[in-house]
Amino acid sequence: MIQRGTMRQADIHLHRSAARDDLGPVLVARKWTYTSMVIELTMPRWAPESESTAVDLLAAATEPTRWRILATLASAGTRCACEIEPVADVAPNVLSYHLKVLREVGLVTSARRGKWIDYTIADDAAARLAMALPTALPGTMRDLP
């Protein structure tokens, strides 16, 4: 079980597959340490059919307004749209659109609290962005130290 808000350390790195199956490097989250447990996760290998998903993910994250939203949520934690609006510096309807795009690609999660909706950066957002980078494609990766 993953407990939100209790993570102390994340050690994410790329390593080459021991089987050398030409699928490229594998992103592995080695030490997700929680207060009372250690969870070892392995991200799926890069697959050609996921290229369009990777492009959509990177396109969503690299738009300047969405980048500011992600940076705010990453540093400030859970926030309602009314708290994100001044940082994003856009009209409420435009902010709603950007948050919807981030939710659809899985970088942001939302939870209703009365008439407000709270937004949080997804737990696996950093790992998903790292997997989407073109350097994770087979044959383009330099040897890691």
Q: Is 33 exposed, middle or buried (0-12, 13-18, 19+ CB in 10 A)?
A: middle
If one compares 88 and 4, the residue with the highest pLDDT of the two is: 88
> Inter-axis angle of helices 92-104 and 51-62, to 10 degrees?
150
DSSP conformational letter for 39: E
Nearest CA to 59 out of 29, 90, 101 is that of: 101
Nearest CA to 40 out of 82, 21, 20, 12 is that of: 12
CB 108 within 8 A of CB 97: no
**Which tokens sit at 80?**
């309602």
Q: pLDDT tier at 139 (50, 70, 90 boundaries)?
A: low
Residue 12 has pLDDT above 70, yes or no: no
If one compares 104 and 17, the residue with the highest pLDDT of the two is: 104
pLDDT at residue number 38:
46
- Lowest average pLDDT, out of 54-63, 89-98, 131-140, goes to 131-140
Q: What's the mean pLDDT in 109-114?
A: 91
Q: What's the mean pLDDT in 139-144?
A: 48
CB 25 within 8 A of CB 136: yes
User: What domains does the chain contain, in order, with CATH numbers?
Assistant: 50-125 (1.10.10.10)
Tens digit of each residue's pLDDT (9 = 90 or more) over 29-73: 444 444 444 444 454 554 434 677 888 888 888 899 999 999 999
Residue that is written with structure tokens 């949520």 in the block: 73
Phi, psi of 41 (to 5 degrees): -120, 150
Pairing state between β 26-34 and 37-42: antiparallel
